């Protein structure tokens, strides 16, 4: 019980911090940011997409996938995932990017080097009511470790682990993981999908 209490208090503190961040970024009155809403948002476990799932969708040329690279442009130019769009975290709420991030057609995946910036972007957009946004679990660091440079399992590993490793080896070859630079080719054009513009809605509401 004490552990649950400690977790709840921790979520409250995090929720209060994010309430301030969202209020500052979106000019939303603080009294519309409900602590229970923030806690519910933070605790959602379905906000992540794994590197394996992302690799499968990229390898199948999934036209409903939009990758948002939240890093600075110089990092993006140096290395990025295939077809990714560079929107630095400080510009994530700019009106010029709203139709990319706030729509019902594409699955939007935020990523950076780790999960930190992606979590922030997801929190901000989720609070504003945007849907179909996800976080690449572990970010590019995890992508390199699991997809570009997968570790061979031990001889006593399960069949499932070997099957996952074999998939990752194939994915590594597909994404150029064995090259000297480790860079991923981004030259392939990405299919365009019509994006429906949504009317702006005021963030608000209380706790049920």
Give the domain CATH number at 146: 3.40.250.10
- Which one is predicted more confidently, 22 or 141? 141
Which of 7-21, 156-170, 191-205 has maximum average pLDDT?
156-170
**Residues with Cβ within 8 Å of residue 48, at least 6 apart in sequence:** 134, 135, 136, 137
What per-residue confidence (pLDDT) applies to 130? 87
> Domain for residue 101, yes or no?
yes
> Domain for residue 208, yes or no?
no
Q: Tens digits of per-residue pLDDT, 44-68?
A: 557 899 999 999 999 999 999 999 9
What per-residue confidence (pLDDT) applies to 55? 96
Q: How far apart are CA 156 and CA 136, in angstroms?
A: 30
Co-location of 8 and 74 in the same domain: no
**Contact (CB, 8 A) for 77 and 207:** no
Co-location of 21 and 121 in the same domain: no
What per-residue confidence (pLDDT) applies to 44? 53
> Domain for residue 207, yes or no?
no
């Amino acid at each position: 019980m004490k552990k649950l209490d400690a977790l709840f208090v921790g979520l409250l503190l995090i929720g209060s911090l994010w309430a301030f961040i969202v209020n500052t970024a979106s000019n939303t009155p603080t009294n519309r940011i409900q602590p229970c809403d923030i806690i519910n948002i933070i605790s959602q476990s379905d906000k992540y997409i794994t590197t394996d799932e992302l690799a499968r969708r990229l390898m199948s040329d999934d036209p409903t996938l939009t990758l948002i690279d939240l890093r600075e442009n110089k990092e993006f130019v140096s290395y990025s995932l295939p077809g990714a769009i560079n929107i630095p975290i400080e510009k994530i709420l700019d009106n010029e990017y709203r139709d990319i991030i706030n729509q019902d057609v594409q699955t939007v995946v935020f990523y950076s080097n780790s999960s930190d910036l992606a979590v922030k972007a997801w929190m901000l957009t989720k609070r504003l009511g945007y849907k179909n946004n996800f976080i690449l679990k572990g970010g590019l660091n995890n992508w390199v470790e699991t997809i570009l440079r997968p570790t061979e399992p031990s001889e006593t590993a399960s069949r499932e682990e070997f099957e996952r490793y074999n998939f990752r080896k194939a994915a590594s070859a597909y994404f150029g993981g064995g090259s000297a630079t480790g860079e991923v080719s981004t030259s392939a054009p990405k299919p365009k999908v019509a994006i429906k513009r949504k009317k702006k809605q005021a963030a608000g509401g209380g706790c049920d």
